Amino acid sequence: MRFRVLVWALPEMLSGIITKVLEYEPDIDVVTHVRPELSLLQAVEAHLPCTVLTSTHSQSVEKGNVAVARILLAHPELKIVALEDDGRSALLYRLRLERVAIEEVSLDRLLDAIRKSNHGMGVSLHG
């Protein structure tokens, strides 16, 4: 299986280093030549990558989670990795569907699950 990686709006030096490294990976196709007037969503739609490597300072990421969420909702399998300019740390954005089995549900467990799910905590509805 081959993976298509879109390198988008990274600082030039970091983009060059990452591209050179990825080009030697036999299972990765790197897309770097993206028209600069394209938004990230347009670039994703034009090139259909599995993963986007971008900067934490790119417009789509700086606009916040709403812009990233729109892209991920349009392309649910996509992963966006936003690298810091020094290339040492990154943020991973992905759309993750979570499924929890509901067996015997008590009112207390249901209320606890509602509260935990709204605070980003793990949810367990079984005893």
What's the pLDDT score for residue 119? 61
Q: Where do you find CATH 3.40.50.2300 in the chain?
A: 3-94
Better pLDDT: 5 or 36: 5
Q: Which two tokens stand for residue 11?
A: 């600082």
Q: Is pLDDT of 67 > 70?
A: yes
Q: Which whole number is the average pLDDT over 35-62? A: 87
What's the pLDDT score for residue 126? 46
So what's the architecture of 3-94 in CATH? 3-Layer(aba) Sandwich (3.40)
What's the pLDDT score for residue 125? 47
Contact residues for 104 (Cβ-Cβ < 8 A; gap 6+)? 126, 127
Pick from 5, 10, 96: which is nearest to 59 by CA? 10
State whether residue 3 is helix, strand or coil: strand
The DSSP secondary-structure symbol of 82 reads E
Global pTM value = 0.76
State whether residue 36 is helix, strand or coil: coil
Highest mean pLDDT among 50-54, 84-88, 116-120: 50-54
Q: Which whole number is the average pLDDT over 94-105? A: 75
